[in-house]
Amino acid sequence: MTVTPRIRKSGRKARLITDKTALAKLAEEINKSGHSVFSPSGSAMWLHCAGSLIANMMEEDRTSPEAAEGTVAHFVAETWLRSGRKPKELLGTVQVVEERGFRFEIPVTQVMMDYVQEYVDWCMFEPGEHYTETRVFFSELTPLPNQSGTADHAACQPGKLVITDLKYGKGIQVFAEGNTQARIYALGFFLKYDHLYHFEVIEMRIAQPRLGHFDSWTISRAELLEFSDYLKARAAAAWQPNAPRSPGEKACQWCKVKSDCVALARLQHALIEGNFKDIGREYTGEELDEFADWIGRGKYRVRPADVSRFTTEQLAKLRPYRRLVESWWRTMDENLERRALEGEKVPGMKLVEARTNREYVDEAKAADLLILYGLEEDQIYTRKILSPTQAEEVLRNELKLPKKVAHEALERYVRKPAGKPTLVPLSDKRPELEAYEETLWDDEGMFDDEDDEL
């Protein structure tokens, strides 16, 4: 995979637009680019935090090699589903994805083809009329015209709608239950095709083959219509200048302005102090201006609460915000460093050269010298076997072995050790532990594997 980047301009957030005419013009520009202001993929953000919508509209769009890889996987899946046959001609080709000034070269490997097949099989055997990569509109639920999204796959039959969304990434596990993007796609199909099928049951499915994750959630017609009312109210609230902000894990996960979001700073202040009445609510523009002024005048003081005094119920309420706040600090560091690199002075800080470790200029010549001194090769070189997953991918890509054959080839030499106890939300599909040997508990890093799994 190769990436040819361009030098990007400053990502500093533009001045907040408060004029409705200017907002309408910006929305028109976004629509002309083929995107929607009320994007289904970003709906978890603007549905939960009204003030995030306009602020994110004024930021540069971002892309990555992972996003480009997902684009190619969707292309392979679409070709497969539309033709009804495996697109073998794409195997081994390099697909070029050019987006927002970047160029990515993504190879279509056997591993990618295998993962895509799991999604394709899940869709192809679903009864009903099939729709692939279908543009659906939901403008009547928003204050703007031409609001739409592209649903990966839908199967329609009398009384039932099945929406399937392909997530090719493996960094964050996505669940079907409560998924706002899938529900908006379902609404788009409902608005367009309900007169033909009269949907009573709506099933939404997430296919995340690289995590072995195939999740589904079913709701009724009445529940979908209830969500429709909620979406309409939240979209109207988001299309207001200086709309209130309500930071949270879902709202902030993909927000492009969270690194300098005063609402997120205010939430963190409430978390540290254990001020529960300020946690999980909307902050008005006036409240945030007052808090920002408080910070600017140097009156900000941190008074951490003693968590040992909190009840278990209170700690459980605080816990879901941990990853959000940690992510905010990382993003803030990146933002400050970028500003410094652009020449801006950061009070109390300076740019220096990072510490590095020594490395060989010529490894082969260094090895020859060490052998000359009398060392053996096994003293010079270290070897480490590939992980089971890496080994299976090599077998599939290099020897073209089917996924099942590659997996079975190593099966008797592989084991999956038991995991340590980990606290997760009740929505997690794993069975609850009823008893565990006390000696196996490890307080340090008890939550460490949560990020790995998500």
**Residue 227 structure tokens:** 């969500």
User: How many beta carbons lie within 10 A of that of residue 278, not counting itself?
Assistant: 15
Q: What strand order describes the sheet that includes 213-220?
A: 129-137, 148-157, 160-166, 201-208, 213-220
> In the prediction, which pLDDT does 332 show?
83
Helix axes 180-197, 221-238, angle to 10 degrees: 120
- For residue 18, the model assigns a pLDDT of 55
Query: How confident is the model at residue 241, as a pLDDT?
Result: 83
Query: Which tens digit of pLDDT belongs to each residue from 130-149?
Result: 999 999 999 999 999 889 99
Which pair of structure tokens corresponds to residue 185? 């796609």
Q: In this predicted structure, what is the pLDDT of residue 19?
A: 63
What was the pLDDT predicted at 451?
A: 42
Is the overall model pTM greater than 0.75, yes or no?
Answer: yes
Q: Tens digit of pLDDT per residue, the chain (454 long)?
A: 443 333 233 333 434 555 667 777 777 777 777 788 999 999 999 999 999 999 998 887 778 899 999 999 999 999 999 999 999 999 999 999 998 778 999 999 999 999 999 999 999 999 999 999 999 999 999 999 889 999 999 999 999 999 999 999 988 899 999 999 999 999 999 999 999 999 999 999 999 999 999 999 999 999 999 999 999 999 999 998 889 999 998 899 889 888 888 999 999 899 988 899 988 899 998 899 888 888 888 777 778 888 888 999 999 888 888 888 888 888 888 888 999 999 999 999 999 898 899 999 999 999 999 999 999 998 999 989 999 999 998 998 888 888 889 889 999 899 988 888 888 777 777 888 875 554 444 444 444 444 433 3
Residue 449 sits at φ, ψ, to 5 deg, of -80, -5
Contact 401, 415 (CB under 8 A): no
Backbone angles phi, psi at 410, to 5 degrees: -105, -5
**Domain map of the chain by residue range?**
41-238, 244-347, 370-418
63-92: pLDDT as tens digits? 889 999 999 999 999 999 999 999 999 999
Nearest to 40 by CA among 168, 142, 129: 142
Cβ burial, residue 45 (10 Å; 0-12/13-18/19+): buried
Alpha helices in 297-402 (DSSP H): 312-318, 322-341, 363-372, 377-380, 388-398
Closest CA to 165 of 227, 200, 119: 119
For 373-406, give the DSSP string: TT--HHHH----PPPHHHHHHHHHHHS---HHHH
Q: DSSP string spanning 77-92?
A: HHHHHHHTS--GGGTT
pLDDT (0 to 100) of residue 441:
45
Q: Is 154 left (phi over 0), alpha (psi -120 to 50) or beta?
A: beta
Helix axes of 285-296 and 262-273: crossing angle, nearest 10 degrees: 80
Rounded Cα distance between 143 and 149, Å, is 16
Within a 10 A sphere around the Cβ of 150, how many other Cβ atoms? 16
Stated as kind and residue range, the H or E segment containing 43 is: helix 43-48
CA-to-CA distance for 63 and 72, rounded, in angstroms?
Answer: 14
